[in-house]
Chains A and B, each alone.
Chain A
């Protein structure tokens, strides 16, 4: 056992420097937690959030928005403000063309832009609404707590979008039933692999990735048999309340 006399500052400093060299000057690693503890803390943190920016990206096999399989989900990016305000731009894949529309949901009120002109129009709310999926008390967070099994801690990893920041990485299996009803049938109902990247200090969830096996009718443009959903979050508590769009 090495004994350090703290009354000798110079010796202490030398020891500290030596320790730094030996350990590679790493910042102190947070106290190791179990995968379940990390997930609980992450969900708790998310429930306390007032707002965040998000991107839902869909790659691989198509995730169809309509029953006739003429429109598929591509990507959604926008802001969420608790409890049920969302403003997002949604990219839609149709045969031969990619289109984009914006939407605003404030509680039960719903607006979206015309696909051609971009003009805002108030419509009765219908179909997939990111607000339902993201709502802290009833949305995705609850599913994370209740429907994830075989949760494992995979170690610390960096995301390309957050260089120099090591994040807790968790993996497991997600039962798809809850997500299926929450997403209006867009995701699920079959079980899928899940990975999460969580900030070790704040427990902010930066990314959730779902690998959803596709049915034979849903294969992607290159014959992909898995739909990869990547949901990114950032700008936590930095979003101002969402206002109704200018109607025409």
Chain B
């Protein structure tokens, strides 16, 4: 319903709410290029704590996805303005906590440990866990702003004109994580890594003040009587637990202190099976709950509509494959190519741009191609290109120069970019008009969950393979130089293998994309992603 008492123009309001959404999505990938630098600064041993460190990335993706599932519904009840500002404040608080994670929060956590159990945690690990916790707080706020922002657009625009503002919000969200690594790499080149998070604070404060005074239409501030009672808290809890269990199940924990060999633990530790089973159980319970809930968080009827499920499945697999590339390019450069951490962050940022900038640029012709050719062909063609690009990347070695990497990254990026519009449009066009907001949100959530699964599974696989290959080496003396050279060769090989896995996942994603049936393509949805 159009609002007449909003003091700003609709377009200005959309622009205003997009700024914090952009900051939140920047931070999805901002640490991927600078994570080695952060870990060095916190004195975190990579080979025994990489799986914990991966939570700095996967924890953000997880909390971001969880917040997206229910914060939009919460804003239906508490009012958009209030929930949006709350989410913004949580994001700013999380940014502050990340910036000072190894300062007073770690000292307080250690004091609590000393007083409670008499235990003495390793200060470096305590600071890493504080960093992960702060990142999750930050992500919860960042993720919540996306569905609430979309809901604000839904309040401001009539259904017939809603597609474009939703597309803008989704595009801003995507652009954020597409350039996040470059932004992180550039800032870290000139400043301490904490600056990435300090810089959010004045921007959030400014956005908070402007939104507080501008977004004051009664329709955006209404609070329904008994609002929180109508909220599907059980559903929100079930999906959160399911996603958390999935992430823990795919992670790997070493036995700290004892440092058991990785290969001795087998490829799927017992605890992983328990957590993965829990994830399935809670997902089933969530579906069961949503089918009976008066106000479900996710309208499950959408999944019965033509094209919706294949589109989301393809998007999930794209998320898995894409994030393996996004996480591994910086790992390859930082570990095997760059001479210093600053150089690594800088080079990683720019090299990843060779993947993500063509991806963003290819999204435009992909919309045009979708309108003319339908969903199936551009999506399958794009996945094929991305698969070939990843296949070529799987042959990278210690001697591979940047000029050889760039065209392969660009090919992969163009491939992924071509899938954006057909996949998103297939899902959104499959939905009835009132549920297109939910459909847009689900498109993003499935990609994010795919990314979370990708980063967790990749870390586990990578560490296991490194351990397995190292055991194959002959026993050497304590010649650390030789050990380092062998280690680099092994890491290069394992990263190559993960690119190969990403290529296979990409090619598998062609299957659901081939199930997309030709349908009416709404031209205004071209720019949805």
Contacts and interface: CB of A to CB of B under 8 A. Distances in A.
Contacts of A117: 261-263, 466-468, 470-471
**Max chain B Cβ within 10 angstroms of own Cβ: one of A74, A99, A112, A116:** A116
Contacts of A234: 120
A70 B484 CA distance: 12
Interface string A106-126: 000000111111111101101
Contacts of B335: 97
B470 A119 contact: yes
A26 interface: no
B126 interface: no
A101 to B, nearest CB: 8
B263 A99 contact: no
Interface in A98-151: 98-102, 112-121, 123-124, 126-127
Interface in A66-109: 66, 70-71, 74-75, 77, 89, 91, 93-102
Contacts, number: 106
B35 to A, nearest CB: 12
A91 B47 CA distance: 11
Given A161-B114, A163-B114, A96 B36 contact: yes
A217 B243 CA distance: 50
A119 B471 contact: yes
Interface string B447-490: 00000000000000000001110110001011010011011001
Nearest to A114: B470
B47 A118 contact: yes
A242 interface: no
Nearest to A97: B46
Nearest to A102: B259
Contacts of B7: none
A197 B371 CA distance: 76
B203 to A, nearest CB: 28
Contacts of B478: 112, 123, 126-127
Contacts of B480: 66, 70-71, 115
A165 B403 CA distance: 63
A248 interface: yes
Q: Which of B39, B120, B477 has the most CB of A within 10 A?
A: B120
Given A117-B262, A121-B475, A91 B43 contact: yes
Contacts of A113: 259, 261
A71 B45 CA distance: 13
A160 to B, nearest CB: 6
Contacts of A193: none
Interface residues of A, number: 40
A242 B239 CA distance: 46
Contact of A116 (B122, B258, B475, B483): B483
A156 interface: no
Contacts of B341: 96
A56 B124 CA distance: 14
Contacts of B340: 95-96
B490 A99 contact: no
Q: Is the interface of A mostly helix, strand, loop or mixed?
A: strand
Contacts of B524: none
Contacts of A126: 478
B44 interface: yes
A173 interface: no
B110 interface: yes
A92 to B, nearest CB: 8
Interface string A213-235: 00000000000000000001010
B487 A115 contact: yes
B257 interface: yes
A36 to B, nearest CB: 30
A55 B125 CA distance: 14
Interface string B492-509: 000000000000000000
Contacts of A77: 122, 257
A115 B259 CA distance: 11
Interface in B231-270: 254, 257-263
Contacts of B114: 160-163
A89 B259 CA distance: 8
Contacts of A55: 120
Contacts of B254: 118
B292 interface: no
B229 interface: no
B259 A116 contact: no
Contacts of B471: 114, 117, 119, 248
B262 A118 contact: yes
B261 A100 contact: no
A97 B40 CA distance: 6
B120 A98 contact: no
B141 interface: no
B5 interface: no
A89 B477 contact: no
Interface of B: 36, 39-40, 43-49, 110-111, 114-115, 120, 122, 124, 254, 257-263, 334-335, 338-341, 344, 466-468, 470-471, 475, 477-478, 480, 483-484, 486-487, 490
Interface of A: 55, 66, 70-71, 74-75, 77, 89, 91, 93-102, 112-121, 123-124, 126-127, 160-163, 232, 234, 248
Given A77-B122, A116-B490, A232-B120, 11 more contacts: A96-B339, A97-B335, A99-B47, A115-B480, A116-B47, A117-B468, A118-B259, A119-B470, A123-B477, A123-B478, A126-B478
6 contacts: A71-B480, A74-B43, A114-B470, A114-B471, A116-B466, A116-B470
Task: Name the 10 nearest CB pairs between A and B, nearest first.
Answer: A117-B470, A100-B45, A116-B470, A117-B467, A119-B261, A102-B259, A118-B261, A98-B45, A116-B487, A100-B48
